[in-house]
Amino acid sequence: MSKIKLIKSEEDYELALDRLNEIFDAPLNSKKGEEAEILAILINDYEARNYAIPSPDPIDAIKIRMDEMNLKQKDLIGEIGSKSVVSEVLNKRRRLTTRMIRNLSSKLQLGADLLIKDYQLQS
């Protein structure tokens, strides 16, 4: 097993990726397989700290999930309110209420922690 070290720089990151690529197909219960597993953990940690992808705002998350579930605005009338209220919410002209968040969280399987985040309303 080569000497494994923490990934503290972009150069360390590139070296770790190269090494992981070399030993990726090693058997799991071998020294190289164990090294690959450790490298994967270190690489994942470095990427989470340095290349984090911010989560979308609540309305964008709703739209993404609607697209994934092939839903239209009219499909959210029961969860949000009337047709016009759904339109206002999805166009960021009206804020989500607690009731809407609960209903949407259940229907769309989105975490309430995502839906409760603040977002900018459009004028």
Helices then strands, counting H and E runs in the chain, come out as 7, 0
Show the domain range for 22. 10-50
Round to whole Å and give the CA distance between 58 and 119: 7
Using DSSP's 3-state secondary structure scheme, residue 122 falls into: coil
67 shares a domain with 108: yes
Return the CATH number at 110.
1.10.260.40
109 shares a domain with 65: yes
Number of compact structural domains in the chain: 2
92 shares a domain with 75: yes
Alpha carbon 78 to chain centroid, angstroms: 27
79 shares a domain with 41: no
Q: Give residue-wise pLDDT tens across range 6-65.
A: 999 999 999 999 999 999 998 988 999 999 999 999 999 999 999 988 888 999 999 999
Q: Give residue-wise pLDDT tens across range 53-107.
A: 888 899 999 999 999 999 999 999 999 999 999 999 999 999 999 999 999 999 9
